[in-house]
Amino acid sequence: MKLTPDSLATHLRDRLLPAYLICGDEPLLAGEAADAVRERARAEGFTEREVHFVERASDWDEVRTSAASLSLFAAKRMVEIRLPSARIGTAGAAALRELLRSPSGDTLFLILSPRLEREAQGADWVRELEAHGGWVQVWPVPQERLVAWLRARSRKLGLEASAEALAELAARTEGNLLAAHQELMQLALLAPGGRVSETRVLEDVADRARFDVFQLGEAALAGETSRALRVLGGLRAEGTEPTLVLWALIRAMRDLWGSREGVVNAPSWQRRSAARAQAAQRAPGMPFAALAARATDADRVIKGRIAGIAWDELTLLAAELCGARTVSAPRATPAPGARP
């Protein structure tokens, strides 16, 4: 059975399955989903809990032995299996299939895993779990839905936050839901009468946004100049390699070109429909030759073949991808000792 973090609560009120898989790279939402399963299990008498960190193939023998042994302290127990990777190998797949095919009413399995790639989602053990248990996929909250997510969380905490306050909080915690949740908890303690204004957020909430290169590519694809430059600044502050940033920008440029040429099914456009729609409108007027030249200069600066500052070149490329006009700089000169 496939579930979402939102549908999990309703599901658990009605029933408890013998196994659950919770996977995803959003720690707050994955942790809350796991806590919900644990709470429901305790209410059903699963008072004993065993936790296994599976890092090697031999660790699965310990999981098998534990599942086959009788509980010493309780009639029911929960066996929690934490996977460092969704690729569990032949031994792991065989062990999980064996455990899931012979469920016991006295044992509940809770499997926690990072995000499953498309190939891993079709694995036999995942299909086995979907047939006998619940599969909760946790996805990050996209930027366009973050304000609504914060509003719903605020109401649960009894906060009355203005639209301006929520927008500012979203900007300061984007990509970091755990920080957003913590800030809301703090505001619930500090805000008089539960009312949260933009001024209160500006005074009390630190900028704890986190970004990745995929967010940069989405912003560039959609033509959101200010957001793209903010994400770029965040990546620089976090020590992201310029080569990885350039890869994301070139990927966005290729997607723009694909939009112009009518390529609408590119795999890299999955889950980026809003950015893709805006890209389709902007693509016909984009100066792709100039963008390619700018990307080439950025690549040569990163490799030390010409003089320059890599992050400056990346900033110009990101701005121009968004459609902003930049001042044309003189052609960079070869770096001392560099090969042309």
Q: What angle do CA 328, 332, 337 make, to 5 degrees?
A: 175
Residue 262 Cα distances to 138, 187, 252, 308, angstroms: 32, 48, 15, 36
The pLDDT tens digits of the residues spanning 193-214 come to 888 888 888 777 766 677 888 8
Q: Is residue 277 part of a domain?
A: yes
Give the pLDDT band of residue 37 (cuts 50, 70, 90).
very high
d(CA 41, CA 92): 24
Is the pLDDT at 330 greater than 80? The verdict is: no
| pLDDT for 269 beyond 50 | no
Task: List the alpha helices (DSSP H) in the chain.
Answer: 5-14, 27-43, 59-68, 89-101, 118-121, 124-132, 146-156, 163-173, 177-190, 198-204, 213-222, 225-237, 242-260, 273-282, 288-302, 310-321
Whether 181 and 225 share a structural domain: no
Contact 89, 61 (CB under 8 A): no
What radius of gyration do the chain's Cα atoms show? Answer: 25
The CATH number of the domain where 112 resides is what? 3.40.50.300
Q: In a 3-state reduction of DSSP, which class is residue 77?
A: strand
Based on the domain organization, do 126 and 194 belong to the same domain? no
Domain of residue 122, residue span: 2-138
What does the alpha-carbon distance between residue 204 and residue 187 come to, in Å, rounded to a whole number? 8
User: pTM, whole model, 2 decimals?
Assistant: 0.65
For 119, phi and psi rounded to 5 degrees?
Answer: -65, -40
Residue 36 has pLDDT above 90, yes or no: yes
Q: What is the pLDDT of residue 268?
A: 44
End residue of a domain, out of 157, 177, 204: 204
Among 151, 183, 204, residue at a domain's last position:
204
pLDDT digits (tens, 9 = 90+) for 295-315: 999 999 998 888 888 999 999
- CATH number assigned to the domain comprising residue 173: 1.10.8.60
Q: At what angle do helices 242-260 and 288-302 cross, to 10 degrees?
A: 170
Instruction: Confirm whether 83 is domain-assigned.
Output: yes
Which has more pLDDT, 141 or 280? 141
What is the rounded end-to-end Cα distance, in angstroms, of the chain? Answer: 58
Q: Which of 109, 108, 116 is nearest to 137 (CA)?
A: 116
For residue 242, what is the domain's CATH number? 1.20.272.10
Whether residues 116 and 231 fall in one domain:
no
| Residues 100 and 180 occupy one common structural domain | no
Tell me: do 253 and 197 sit in the same domain. no
